[in-house]
Amino acid sequence: MEQIKRIDRKLIAKGSIIDYYQDTMQLPDGTTAQWDLIDHKGAAAVVPVLDDGRIVMVQQYRNALERNTLEVPAGGLKTRKEPTIEAAKRELREETGFTSDDLELLVSIKTTVAFCNEKIDIYVARNLKPGEQDLDEDEFVEYQAYEIDELIRRIYACEIQDSKTICAILAYKEKYINR
């Protein structure tokens, strides 16, 4: 396959979560095209597993969808160099109140490869210790524990559509339940 080469990158907008660039690309046939790029610092997510096997999920309003969603706890990195395991611990504590020192990397995903470089490392957390939520000022998050079979049913009923959550739940089931 012939190489495609970026010949220019222009910052169009700088946001609080993402930056939007327009790239001028030289294609293999010599022509150029404008491609969009959403630049993201990265994120971490966590599958919090209670001692009885239930998974703690969060429900929150998502502006892009104009509705509440059911998701695994997750959040963006504070800096590109922040270790994702630290971000996963932070988001677990902030969104659910639970803490854990028993986190294991489950899977890493790239969320939207056509136009975004966001990478999310997804961890499994066990030996959870309960505590108090510590939400950001603009966060309104409720949490509840679910059986894995209920979450799988909700995925295939198209009730859970968040990609990181689908990846997290299916990878967790394959690695730890379907052994």
Mean pLDDT of 72-88: 95
| pLDDT band, residue 160 (cuts 50/70/90) | very high
Per-residue pLDDT at 132: 84
CA distance 69 to 75: 14
Where are the extended beta strands (E) located within 1-94? 5-14, 18-26, 32-40, 43-48, 55-62, 67-71, 74-76
The SS3 of residue 92 is: helix
pLDDT digits (tens, 9 = 90+) for 19-67: 999 999 999 999 999 999 999 999 999 999 999 999 999 999 898 888 9
Beta-bridge mates of residue 26: 5, 32
pLDDT digits (tens, 9 = 90+) for 10-27: 999 998 889 999 999 999
| pLDDT band, residue 158 (cuts 50/70/90) | very high
For the chain, the first-to-last Cα distance in angstroms comes to 39
Name the DSSP class of 176: I
Per-residue pLDDT at 2: 74
Quick one: which of 151, 68, 79, 83 has its CA closest to 123? 83
pLDDT at 1 over 70: no
Per-residue pLDDT at 134: 76
Per-residue pLDDT at 131: 86
* Joined tokens for residue 78: 């504070």
| pLDDT band, residue 179 (cuts 50/70/90) | confident
| pLDDT band, residue 133 (cuts 50/70/90) | confident
Per-residue pLDDT at 4: 93
Over the chain, what is the mean pLDDT? 93
Residue 10 near residue 29, CB atoms below 8 Å: no
Per-residue pLDDT at 32: 95
Tell me the catalytic residues.
137
Q: Percentage of residues in the chain with pLDDT exceeding 70? A: 99
Question: What pTM value is reported for the model?
Answer: 0.91
